């Protein structure tokens, strides 16, 4: 495992509040060693991962719990978009008889209430999982100042869940996204989709955070997971 730090300057130059998710989606596809023909994606959103695929595929099943996101995802005869929460029994029933060359997931599985259970079921339908997850160290400095706990999984829990069923390669990267001013930085937190609990704090805590947060960047820690073989 290696740990890297990468800076992305001036978020206002991007026309989106999910620039880190876009970087992760591109990296996820770039790191694929093969060009799989049958793919399952968990947490497909509006199609950030799918849009990076440049080769012909036979079948693509895209899963997301948000019906509005599912509506935005690209459609085609070989694409099946389904609205499911991947923590539910209904989702597990949906995939239990499937087989896939690879399961992909970008910036989604960190929200799972039982990641180990999901990985177990995925191990029955594929030999390969490539995923990237945010860890609880995302917005770490904000959590320290505001005395809040991240609602997403920590790095150790993520590794443990995957390693129960697969031999894996892990790589952890800390992205630091710079801003021109504090207002833009705090606006980004609200709209980024990985608030780390900071979007629900009371006015007093939010005021304290705004006053004491001296950094000109936000921290996003992600872990790339690549399965090597089943155990």
Mean pLDDT of the chain: 88
Pairing of strands 217-230, 59-64: unpaired
Domain housing 174: 3-230
Q: Tell me how many domains the chain contains.
A: 1
The pLDDT of residue 148 is: 86
Start-end of H helices in 123-165: 140-146, 155-163
Tell me: the pLDDT tens digits for 208-223? Answer: 888 999 999 999 999 9
Compute the residue count for the chain. 231
Start-end of H helices in the chain: 19-30, 67-72, 89-95, 115-122, 140-146, 155-163, 182-191, 203-212
Q: What is the dihedral of CA 89, 25, 50, 179, to 10 degrees?
A: 110
How far is the CA of 15 from the CAs of 10, 97, 188, in angstroms? 11, 40, 12
Tell me: the pLDDT tens digits for 167-201? Answer: 999 999 999 999 989 888 888 877 765 554 455 56
Residue 162 buriedness (CB in 10 A; 0-12 / 13-18 / 19+): buried
Distance CA 190, CA 186 (A): 7
Distance CA 64, CA 13 (A): 28
Identify the sign of the CA torsion 193, 197, 200, 205.
negative
Give pTM, 2 decimals: 0.89
- The CATH number of whichever domain residue 60 belongs to comes to 3.40.50.150
């Amino acid at each position: 495992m290696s740990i890297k730090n990468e800076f992305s300057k001036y978020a206002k130059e991007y026309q989106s509040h999910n620039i880190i998710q876009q970087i992760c989606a591109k990296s996820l596809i770039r790191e694929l060693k093969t060009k799989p023909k049958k793919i399952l994606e968990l947490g497909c959103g509006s199609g950030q991962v799918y849009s990076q695929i440049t080769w012909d595929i036979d079948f693509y099943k895209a899963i997301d719990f948000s019906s509005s996101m599912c509506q935005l995802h690209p459609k085609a005869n070989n694409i099946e978009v389904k609205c499911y929460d991947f923590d539910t029994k209904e989702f597990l029933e949906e995939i239990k008889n499937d087989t896939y060359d690879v399961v992909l997931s970008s910036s989604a599985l960190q929200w799972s209430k039982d990641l180990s259970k999901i990985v177990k079921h995925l191990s029955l339908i594929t030999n390969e999982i490539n995923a990237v997850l945010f860890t609880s160290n995302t917005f770490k400095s904000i959590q320290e100042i505001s005395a809040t706990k991240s609602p997403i999984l920590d790095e150790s829990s993520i590794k443990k869940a995957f390693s129960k069923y697969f031999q894996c390669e892990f790589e952890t990267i800390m992205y630091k996204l710079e801003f021109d001013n504090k207002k833009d930085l705090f606006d980004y937190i609200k709209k980024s989709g990985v608030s780390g609990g900071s979007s629900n704090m009371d006015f007093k805590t939010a005021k304290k955070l705004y006053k004491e947060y001296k950094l000109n960047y936000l921290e996003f820690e992600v872990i790339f997971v690549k399965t090597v073989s089943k155990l």
